[in-house]
Chain A
Amino acid sequence: MNVNLRDPNTIMKLSRLGSFHQSRLSFLRSFLSEFKDWEYKRDLFDLDKNGYGIAIYSFKKKDRVYSLVCFANQIDDNERSDRVIATKWDAAFTLHDGIPQKKDIERLKNEVPRQEVGRLSYKELTLSRANKSVRIFDHVVDSLSKGVQPNLDLLKKVGYLYRTTAVYGSGKFGLADRFRIKDREEINGPFRLEMMLVYLVRQFTFDQVNHVAKNKNPNSAVNLDPKICKNLGIGNSTGLGMAPFIVNHPTLLNNWILCREIALKKIRELETINFKDSNLFKDCVRNSVRNITSWNTESEYQIKKIKLLLRDVRKFLDFVENEFDFKKAFPFNTLYLWLEKETCEECIEYIVSIMMEPFEEIVRPLIKKMSSDEEKYFNIPTNRTVGELLAILEKKYSNILTINFDKKENHKKFWFISKNKEEPRLADRFEEQGSDLEQPLAIARDIKKLYERLLLSNKFLKIDKFLVDNSDLRHVVRRAFIIEKFPYSEIQDNTISENLVPIDMLRLKLSFFGALKFDPRSDKWLRICMFQGAPLPNELKQFDEQWVYKS
């Protein structure tokens, strides 16, 4: 049986992309698999009694070493902010390429805590900072120092000791450009070094909390139970900064989604499923319900989504356990078609993610295809014709071409870069100033504009001639030729509509990171949790691949 890849016009809608969940393809999970046989070490732990100072952690294999350099700082409570406008954080981190020498540490000590206003070098790969969840951190210190483990209900509500507020890589603030390291086998997957940083930061938070508790009461303090550590992750606050990324990297976006779609297609095409695999799938769905019921948020928008998800996952479980027979041919295809008919978008994508769990042999080869050599597709094929470009637009942007951009609600918002923080922002075109400096992120509107201009041009005109008088649309001409080859490279939605929910764009990216427990704090930023339930560094050599569903 041949199952078609799902239609980009359905999958690339923002509401669908905003329903994606982590899977075996997610970057933090593939990072753990890649680095499971690397040697983990805590090289330096020089903190004072209050937990302030420097620590270094590393992963090593043969001659390659990656070192996380941590700087824990004292800040006042009123200086602690998750917003990008903050200038001080409880801790700041960088992933150094190799073993940092004394002079590197001295240099980093001055630069890393300053984050965006500091300067890193090509020897550093990623940069981040994090703030304590003060309520949780203080409670854990207090409990441990008294010789007791912390209140699990309280920990469960938050899920982490620290949350990062940004993780930078790929040349930002002087960090190494991707091209310098792109041929390294171990990082042949997107965001692998960012994942390494976050993972090692998680360990630092455990070591720091134990250290502070021990210093508070050396005679009675105990360490945080490793089982509790395992169920804590690292939080993250994410704002709009992440949103333009998926528009600005079309071939990369395509490869992420395409790999997911290929995995689903291959799983649906499996004629028979053995008992072990069907059981593993059912176990994961069953266990995952805990992830949904422990998903805390005050966002009404998310509460509604979670409620629907829980209802539909239970309905699905009931169907699978009481009505469905895995012995019938093409069981996952039948299940998928049932999901399409009976459940909400969030549930469809949730179960699609879990369908990958039993099939490492399908997923593993795809992980290596999730990067992209974007430069290869940058040139516009200017020898093509207007007629050919028109045909591409009609085929690949059919829904977008139906949007009426003369209506105010369809172009109400605009994206801009804030002068204060050089970060992307979204505003109302009709109420705020600045739309004359709009960023090129209104792809749907510009594609429609391109279409209208093409209709007025000679169909046999070559694109080089068309561009002479239509230079303002060059950016979308390039994109149209990219989508011709990469069907999932474009969001098939209007990113400047009045109804835009920007966190859908963030959720898409975060789901590929492997984030759990999306907690929108507004329509423009959200909190998430990463690595909750993941093996600790000393457990990496052998761990349960389905740890996500067992926290």
Chain B
Amino acid sequence: MRSLSEIETTSKRASRAVGFSWGVSEEIAKGIRLLELFGFPGIKNLNQYYKLINKKNFENISTINKKNKSNKYSLCPINLGVGILDQIRTLEKLKKITFYKVAYPILLLPFLSRSSDIIGKKILFKFEKNIFLLNFNVNILSNLLVKKIPIFAKKSEIIFLENKDNFTEKEWKSLYKLSENTFVEESESLKQGAAGAGLTDND
């Protein structure tokens, strides 16, 4: 079994070898480490992408907008990922961003995961029928259980989720009521003597 440290070092060197700068290679390496840690086939997808990178053309975009279309070729997931990571505080305001034609979309996941941590919001990433929920760089939830991860996303969406509860008020109240069973009903003497502050604190 390869350690995550080996995965990171080798991904960094390979990324540099295909032409990314050292700084971007560091970002990619952290990302592949994260994918492998979370159980996604990072090495496999990066390897496949790097086999194509000098044979096929991929497009880069420098400024990300609400809707982003490539001119002719698929978008490079790494350039896109670094762009999203760098511009995340601006992009967050757009609420939803759409991309058409993204190569190896799984390679975007770690950048979105880290972005989720930076802005303190969950991010939903969807392409075709595949859904990924990026939770503050703590974990990634997905409905994708197939072994073969799609290598192309025709139309993908990134949605910034507002922080809200995953449960109803009714469910919360019910649980809270149960938690109250650990509290002690205060008698008059407890009210007067068990707390630290005075009864009047107007001094």
Contacts and interface: CB of A to CB of B under 8 A. Distances in A.
Do chains A and B interact in one complex? yes
Interface of A: 121-122, 170-179, 375, 378-380, 382-383, 417, 440, 463-464, 467-468, 471-478
Nearest to B7: A171
B4 A171 contact: yes
B94 interface: no
Nearest to A479: B23
Given A171-B4, A378-B26, A380-B86, 18 more contacts: A172-B5, A172-B6, A174-B1, A174-B3, A177-B3, A177-B4, A375-B30, A382-B85, A382-B86, A383-B89, A440-B22, A467-B86, A468-B83, A473-B23, A474-B21, A474-B27, A475-B23, A478-B26
A471 B4 contact: no
Contacts of A122: 1, 3
26 contacts: A170-B5, A174-B2, A174-B3, A175-B3, A176-B3, A375-B30, A378-B26, A379-B114, A382-B85, A463-B86, A464-B86, A464-B87, A464-B90, A468-B83, A468-B86, A471-B23, A471-B24, A472-B22, A472-B23, A474-B23, A474-B24, A475-B21, A475-B23, A475-B26, A476-B23, A478-B26
B187 interface: no
Contacts of A173: 6
A171 B4 CA distance: 7
Interface string B155-191: 0000000000000000000000000000000000000
A28 B126 CA distance: 51
B5 A475 contact: no
Interface string B85-117: 111111000000000000000000000001000
Nearest to A170: B5
A74 B20 CA distance: 46
B118 interface: yes
Nearest to B60: A468
A477 B6 CA distance: 25
Interface in B1-49: 1-6, 13, 20-24, 26-27, 30
Contacts of B54: none
With most chain A CB atoms within 10 A of its CB, the pick from B3, B20, B85 is: B3
Contacts of B30: 375, 378
Contacts of B6: 171-174
Contacts of B202: none
A173 B2 CA distance: 8
Contacts of A467: 82, 86
A40 to B, nearest CB: 28
Contact of B1 (A121, A170, A379, A380): A121
Pick the 4 closest A-B CB pairs, nearest first.
A474-B23, A171-B5, A171-B3, A475-B23
A477 B26 CA distance: 12
Nearest to A119: B1
Contacts of B143: none
Determine chain A's interface SS by DSSP, over half rule: helix
A172 B2 CA distance: 9
A382 B87 contact: yes
Contacts of A174: 1-3, 6
B71 interface: no
Contacts of B4: 171, 177, 179
Nearest to A438: B22
A379 to B, nearest CB: 6
B200 interface: no
Contacts of B20: 471
Contacts of A471: 20-21, 23-24, 82
A450 to B, nearest CB: 11
A170 B7 CA distance: 12
Contacts of B5: 170-172, 177-178
A94 to B, nearest CB: 14
A472 B3 contact: no
Contacts of A172: 3, 5-6
A178, A378, A380, A440 — which one has the most chain B CB atoms within 10 A of its CB?
A: A440
A379 B118 contact: yes
Nearest to A446: B22
Contacts of B87: 382, 464
A176 B88 CA distance: 34
Nearest to B23: A474
B89 A475 contact: no
Contacts of A472: 21-23
B37 to A, nearest CB: 8
A471 B83 CA distance: 11
Nearest to A477: B23
Nearest to B62: A468
Nearest to B12: A440
Contacts of A382: 85-89
B23 to A, nearest CB: 2
A135 B62 CA distance: 65
Contacts of A476: 23
A176 B3 CA distance: 7
Contacts of B26: 378, 474-475, 478
Contacts of A378: 26, 30
Among B2, B4, B22, B24, residue most surrounded by chain A Cβ atoms (within 10 Å):
B22
A176 to B, nearest CB: 7
A463 B88 CA distance: 12
A175 B2 CA distance: 8
Contacts of A178: 5
A106 B13 CA distance: 33
A173 B83 CA distance: 33
A475 B3 contact: no
A305 B3 CA distance: 42
A109 to B, nearest CB: 19
